[in-house]
Amino acid sequence: MAITLNGSTGITTPTYGGSVPAEYITPVTGFKNRIINGAMMIDQRNAGASITPSNGQYTLDRFLIGVSQASKLTTQQSSIAANGFTNSLNITSSTAYSILSGDLFYISQPIEGFNCADLNWGTANASTVTLSFWVRSSLTGTFGGALSNGTFNRSYPFTYTISSANTWEQKSIIIAGDTTGTWATNNTLGIQVIFGLGVGSTYSGTAGAWAGAGYVSATGATSVVGTSGATFYITGVQLEKGSTATSFDYRPYGTELALCQRYYYWNGGTNDVSFFNVNSTNVAGSATYPVAMRTAPTIVIYNGTTSGQVNLIAGGIGIVGSVVGISSECFSALSGTDMTGLGGVKFNYSVSSEL
């Protein structure tokens, strides 16, 4: 490699004879980790507040909670984290609950088919994947989880052991790809990654093998909700192609936020969107989302933090009946009652196209 001097600027400019040396090339790894927000940094909905979730409610971005019985646990973003991370997802049991056969309590991330299509599951060329994560609990013993398809008729229960109470431990599970079943490769649910928190026999299966059934955990796994006050923390969740757990795929915060906003966006609770009067029942404008959504979203309009209302610029409150002109990139009008008033309306909104 020869170095030439640019006399007019005094800048040294390398010139290469032949190929560029490897040390000057920035490697491009692609979307190694198929989990979004695996470091638990993004919490648009709750901003770190503790919630008592209902079944299917999202907690931290991209992580939903399944509960067959209400008020048995709380969930919250936590600053208690493994080395190298700043946040985790915390589950705390609210009461000692004895699991029935049909009960299920779990954390899950649904992965869009576009983001796992290259795994070729459902074919003879199905790729092996490795699931790795950091976990900490006040309980010890054998814990369980599962991977399943979108139609919930193929699943792979797995187990892992927590050896020391209140101590961060890293786990990894190698899973041979499923060569049968139906696995979506479009913008619908492709793979669901599930961590059991207390699962009855109906939804528990033999660990370490694919099954033609919908399981969310392995038989005999520890129930977090079975002990009052029990805690469970998880972070650094990674699902990657291959049979080795590699280092966690840290992405820039802005990149991770944009990935989350494909599925959910909340513009912060301030009335920073303005639409203008078309007539006494309609206002129009353009509200463009930060990123294109997975599909045309469900939209909730807020006046501050009160849903279903707008603030009239001239004074007063308008009631929203429907949102009009919805696409995966924006919406363009609102209809309702009491929409009159010089200057139009101001509002904020949330949009959701979760899987």
First to last CA, the chain: 52
> What integer is the mean pLDDT of 73-99?
98
Using CA atoms, how far apart are residues 181 and 317, in angstroms rounded to an integer?
A: 52
What percent of the chain lies above the pLDDT cut of 90? Answer: 85
Greater model confidence, 313 or 17:
313
Using CA atoms, how far apart are residues 133 and 135, in angstroms rounded to an integer?
A: 6
Please state whether 224 falls in left (phi above 0), alpha (psi between -120 and 50) or beta.
alpha
> What integer is the mean pLDDT of 288-303?
97
CATH of domain 263-352: 2.60.40
Domain 57-260 has CATH 2.60.120.1060: no
Q: How many C-alpha atoms does 117 have within 13 Å on its Cβ side?
A: 9
| Mean pLDDT, rounded, of the chain | 91
Q: How confident is the model at residue 342 (pLDDT cuts 50, 70, 90)?
A: low
At 95-109, the pLDDT tens digits run 999 999 999 999 999
3-state SS assignment for residue 23: helix
Is residue 137 scored above 60 in pLDDT? yes
Full-model pTM: 0.91
Q: How many residues does the chain have?
A: 355
Q: How confident is the model at residue 337 (pLDDT cuts 50, 70, 90)?
A: confident
Domain spans, the chain? 57-260, 263-352
Is residue 113 scored above 80 in pLDDT? yes
Greater model confidence, 30 or 38:
38
Give pLDDT, residue 25.
Answer: 36
Q: How confident is the model at residue 26 (pLDDT cuts 50, 70, 90)?
A: very low
At 51-74, the pLDDT tens digits run 999 999 999 999 999 999 999 999
Is residue 160 scored above 70 in pLDDT? yes
Structure tokens, 302: 């807020």
Is residue 19 scored above 70 in pLDDT? no
Using CA atoms, how far apart are residues 165 and 136, in angstroms rounded to an integer?
A: 7
Q: Which of 27-31, 113-117, 207-211, 349-353 is predicted with the least confidence, judged by mean pLDDT?
A: 27-31
3-state SS assignment for residue 92: strand
> What integer is the mean pLDDT of 320-334?
97
At 180-222, the pLDDT tens digits run 999 999 999 999 999 999 999 999 999 999 999 999 999 999 9
At 219-256, the pLDDT tens digits run 999 999 999 999 999 999 999 999 999 999 999 999 99
Q: How confident is the model at residue 269 (pLDDT cuts 50, 70, 90)?
A: confident
- How big is the CA angle at 21 (ends 20 and 23), to the nearest 5 degrees? 125
